[in-house]
Amino acid sequence: MCTVFCSINKSILIFALAVSLFSSTIPNVYSDTIGGGTIEKPASGPKPAYGIGGPNMVLVKNWEFGTNGNIKNITDLNTNFQYHDRFNTWNTGWQYGASTVAPDQADALPGQPVEGKDTAAPVRSFTANSLLTYLVPLNGATTVDPNKINGGCGSFTPKWTLPHAGSLLGQDIVWETRVRYVIPKYYWFALWMEGNNWKGGQGAEFDLVESYGWDGGQFGDNFNGNYWHSNVVDSPNKTDTVDYGAWPSGMRSVGFNAYDPTQYHIWTMRYNRDNSYAFYVDGKIIQSGANYYWTFGHLSDGQPIDMEFMFDATWGNNKVWMDDHTLPAAGLANCYYEFNYSRVYLSNPKPSDAPIGVADGTFKIANATSGLLASAGSINPKSGNGAVTEGADAANPSQQWTITSSGDYYTITSVSDKLNLSVDHISILLMASTAAKSQLWALVKSGNSYKLQNAQSRHLLSVDPKGPTTSGDPLLDQNDANDSSQLWNLTRQ
């Protein structure tokens, strides 16, 4: 817990110098780039710590904080990060006792606190190998109160986001952050992920770590930050395998009898293209689960959402009674969150089941269950997209498809309309040719038939598994259910 000083401004400046001297002893070999956020535009830097994700993970975002890194100063921070969420709020749910302070007016939203204008002390500073964020009173407050939201903090979030996650992205994701913190009573810290639709609390959310300085009265407290939890949020299927209903017992169940937040730890999230996940600290797994869909409502056919990475380094909470307490503002002095680096990796999109060697040509594609053919349907004159249904063999060009190799995948093009078989969110459509992964298919041998797996969704071309199906029924994009409704027979024409 922090020592109380009378002069916050003076204490922070002196303490920043001391922390800088401490941090400068950390070995630094940074000559790495930030990266463009895709496999095609990767960053330079190390592989994931502890080998999480395997050897084929590609570093796509690499934020190395400190004057020796690639986020050297506030200008670099402003270029790569913002100080509010996707919903243009600088205090999630207006529940924290400390709002995120922007470093300058140019990077602030209307009404947002600004460093130097609403604060008398620094909110962020850089050492050789880290970014320090502080907790400060706003506008001269002598007591910080979660209900008055009169504290300030240095939370931040990347401007870059992933467009999808899980099976909708079609790639495994690893997010790794090295951080430590020295905190006051009633602190609040979290590394977490959310999407761009949270209406009614139904958005997907991963809490890689969440910890706060609760006061449980006679049952103890967490003022020193020894306890945390790691969970997914609002999962209707209760996918977590570790129960953190009581943080200490949850931590003990995964091998943590003690935790010192003042020392550096590496927190890692792995979210796979099959919608399974695992969370780690220092290479030790602390949470896992399966079938968590990164969609609105967490449903397999829900609305796709993006993935945003959040760094919450704040204080107090007016919605959680154990963290809803006032504190003399001097109690924030000498306290900080220190970020060494944060990195995002993606797996190579090549599927684990390599495409089989089908020679290019024209084929009929018949479902192994119904015997009906994949058929090009009517074209929407407004969108230019076409329906894809199943139908009885009519010896018609609308039931013939040109299969053409494209790297590790194939394009499947209607002979009649010259449009490509595509996935649009959860629908199978015919669409004009683009370079999108949604128009690429892996052909995976299964007995005498084939699975047609979309490179974007990672789902399979299917008929309705509830059956029986008839001519005119639409084709579907479905999770692999090991069902014959997802098997297809190819007949070369």
Domain range list for the chain:
8-347, 361-492
- Distance, in Å, from the CA atom of 94 to the CA atom of 79, rounded to the nearest integer, reads 26
Confidence of residue 201 (pLDDT cuts 50, 70, 90): low
Confidence of residue 360 (pLDDT cuts 50, 70, 90): confident
Structure tokens at 454: 């979309």
pLDDT for position 12 = 45
CATH assignment of 361-492? 2.80.10.50
pLDDT for position 358 = 63
- Measured CA distances, 88 to 74, 97, 390 (Å): 21, 18, 45
Global model pTM greater than 0.85: no
Which has the minimum average pLDDT: 102-116, 213-227, 332-346?
213-227
The more confidently predicted of residues 153 and 17 is: 153
Per the listing, tokens 């684990």 go with 352
pLDDT tens by residue, 411-427: 999 999 999 999 987 78
- Distance, in Å, from the CA atom of 65 to the CA atom of 178, rounded to the nearest integer, reads 10
Structure tokens at 107: 């990077």
Q: Which CATH architecture has domain 8-347?
A: Sandwich (2.60)
pLDDT for position 7 = 42
Q: Does the pLDDT value for residue 167 go beyond 80?
A: yes
pLDDT for position 482 = 79
Q: Does the pLDDT value for residue 392 go beyond 60?
A: yes
